[in-house]
Structure 1
């Protein structure tokens, strides 16, 4: 049985300003977010992802379109009438209250019985692994611990949807990676739908059940991390999700003919004039020139620890980057100026729209 949508945005438009000076932050966006999934809105600054989150939360009203939550139209409902909670980038904790008091605050405002408040608070403390810090002031906590408190406070009233607006951006790299794992654990354990906003592709790939990639107020593609990474819909998605190579030429039956005459097999590529294909660096294979493939010259080698990026140039000047696993010696096995034979893994070359 297919999962049902808990959030359904239909032809949503959000314009700021009036007349010819109006700017469309969202331009006819429609998306389904499924019950119990970890859904990420991913895109660069100004793409509209936070605006869409704020419309779901009720902090902004759409210029046009509708938003349904669990089948009910919430398009014009105020934030306090919506069964959603939001975790902000700044956490917005009360510094004069303890960890337990911060978590209990929302429940008390809802008029829950004291016994329920106490039991729920204890359960949330255990969920975020802060039982031993219940009596501490939030100002005495680390950034990661403060974020856990913010999450516990937002989860305590058991919202149908939890909205997260770039909550990891203020953390250092190591802690951010740890919290990615924790966020996914919390989502699985609670079963609550998480809608996460980020510009960080690694965060999206690490945590998400599905990702919606946005650009210029439009939803470019929605799919699983694997679908978007291996089958990007257009050039923007391919370039924004991970690193990639673009090759441009003329389409022939099941092949791309580069300007220098080299022919790259691309199954399903029809003969319809100019075309662009993409291939990920880890799908580039190098060998000896006599073994066949395209002749390429090594232009640069960049060592990244576990990986070495080999920058190459084809005969017509087309640049290609290959990601190679670094041997234990730290040597890439190739030298600048060396001529190599270049191939692509089967099925790795994909046509993309501009």
Structure 2
């Protein structure tokens, strides 16, 4: 893997095993990854997939069992955390309750022995970035959860690190605050130009904020790319199932024709595949019309979600699909209604069965 000045962090064949012998647990298999300078990169995956272990190796809290970590081309694999120009924001705010907001923000700079004037200037700068200038003299317990998270961000940004690591920092917030902070995090990353590496199991957070996403499972990195690419072109069933909602249909390919359900045939790009395949179809790519206009189907469930209504329909062989239909674009359907199901062949992704 080549290393250029365009990469903030490079992981080369990084493995991490905890314990020894039969009790050993492999957290990271053989992960290689290049994260560009100035991008918002997200590691996305379920609990236990290795994303936090990789983050901790980058931070220096863990030492890889194998491989190397590079920062701007310099090998930092064995450097202690305090020698790396990297800061971390954790799920817990970890603010000092007896210090004011300004004192919390400037604490790291004070520990570095920076002059008081520099600490004051940096503190004022980052408090302005997170829009908390008016709260400088408050104590953490006098602030909301969202405001405390902004203080934690300001503290991490104050030393102007090359890389900011964020380990599920929004998971403790309620839904409305979490959505507000998603926008704030993206704004901060753009305004500061600092490389953000964000860890989450929340696909919406990843899609909303990221320049690129790395999908992880069982210690392996499965796919890396922009959100739209990963959503529209998943490399395998796990990725298709994990990011966004997906319908999966088993189909047979014979003479380059796809057959689903009770013998329904249609054309999709097959790339030479034959035999049994799996089709991945996003719910928003499924349309429902009057009976006789597409594949015969019956509505078996309808869930109204405000802007959208989710309809689960059954084909003649009892295969089930979900269609996500904007609530104001069609007359509402009822359970038991006969419909015609239509799918744009170009929206179908063929996966290994």
Query: TM-score per shorter chain, which class?
Result: over 0.9
The structure-2 alpha-carbon separation of the partners of 1:255 and 1:58, relative to structure 1 and needing over 3 Å to count, comes to: farther
Find the counterpart in structure 2 of residue 300 from structure 1: 301
Q: Distance in 2 between matches of 1:235 and 1:185?
A: 33
Q: Distance in 2 between matches of 1:3 and 1:208?
A: 21
What is the Cα deviation at residue 332 of structure 1? 5.0
What is the Cα deviation at residue 238 of structure 1? 0.5
Asked whether the equivalents of residues 284 and 324 of structure 2 are also in contact (C-alpha less than 8 Å), the reply is: yes
What is the Cα deviation at residue 346 of structure 1? 4.7
Match status 1:311 vs 2:299: no
Find the counterpart in structure 1 of residue 351 from structure 2: 352
Q: 1:92 aligns with which of 91, 94, 108?
A: 94
Q: 2:85 aligns with which of 59, 83, 86?
A: 83
The structure-2 alpha-carbon separation of the partners of 1:122 and 1:255, relative to structure 1 and needing over 3 Å to count, comes to: farther
Q: Distance in 2 between matches of 1:240 and 1:130?
A: 36
Find the counterpart in structure 2 of residue 50 from structure 1: 52
Find the counterpart in structure 2 of residue 223 from structure 1: 225
Q: Distance in 1 between matches of 2:261 and 2:143?
A: 59
Match status 1:179 vs 2:181: yes
Q: Which TM-score applies when normalising by structure 2?
A: 0.96
The structure-2 alpha-carbon separation of the partners of 1:254 and 1:192, relative to structure 1 and needing over 3 Å to count, comes to: farther
The structure-2 alpha-carbon separation of the partners of 1:332 and 1:303, relative to structure 1 and needing over 3 Å to count, comes to: farther
Find the counterpart in structure 2 of residue 201 from structure 1: 203
The structure-2 alpha-carbon separation of the partners of 1:119 and 1:307, relative to structure 1 and needing over 3 Å to count, comes to: same
The structure-2 alpha-carbon separation of the partners of 1:70 and 1:289, relative to structure 1 and needing over 3 Å to count, comes to: same
Find the counterpart in structure 2 of residue 127 from structure 1: 129
Structure 2, unpaired ranges of 5+: none
Q: Deviations over 1:179-237 (max 9, x none)?
A: 00000000000000000000101100110000001111111111111011111111011
Find the counterpart in structure 2 of residue 340 from structure 1: 339
* Superposition pairs of residues 229-308 of structure 1, within 5 angstroms: 229-252=231-254, 255-258=257-260, 260-291=262-293, 293-308=294-309
Report SS of the residue matched to 2:127.
Answer: helix
Report SS of the residue matched to 1:188.
Answer: helix
What is the Cα deviation at residue 271 of structure 1? 4.2
Q: Distance in 2 between matches of 1:332 and 1:187?
A: 43
Q: Deviations over 1:125-150 (max 9, x none)?
A: 11111111100111211100100110
Q: Deviations over 1:61-104 (max 9, x none)?
A: 11111111100001111100111000011111111000001111
Q: 1:4 aligns with which of 3, 6, 12?
A: 6
Q: Distance in 2 between matches of 1:268 and 1:32?
A: 31
Number of aligned positions between the proteins: 350
Q: Which TM-score applies when normalising by structure 1?
A: 0.96
Match status 1:150 vs 2:152: yes
Q: Distance in 2 between matches of 1:192 and 1:111?
A: 23
The structure-2 alpha-carbon separation of the partners of 1:173 and 1:271, relative to structure 1 and needing over 3 Å to count, comes to: closer
Asked whether the equivalents of residues 251 and 271 of structure 1 are also in contact (C-alpha less than 8 Å), the reply is: yes
Q: Distance in 2 between matches of 1:255 and 1:283?
A: 20
Asked whether the equivalents of residues 5 and 73 of structure 2 are also in contact (C-alpha less than 8 Å), the reply is: no
Structure 1, unpaired ranges of 5+: none
Asked whether the equivalents of residues 261 and 316 of structure 2 are also in contact (C-alpha less than 8 Å), the reply is: no
Find the counterpart in structure 2 of residue 110 from structure 1: 112
The structure-2 alpha-carbon separation of the partners of 1:163 and 1:122, relative to structure 1 and needing over 3 Å to count, comes to: same
Q: Distance in 2 between matches of 1:109 and 1:212?
A: 34
Q: Distance in 2 between matches of 1:241 and 1:314?
A: 25
* Superposition pairs of residues 317-332 of structure 1, within 5 angstroms: 317-327=318-328, 332=331
Over the residues paired in the alignment, what is the CA RMSD in angstroms? 1.5
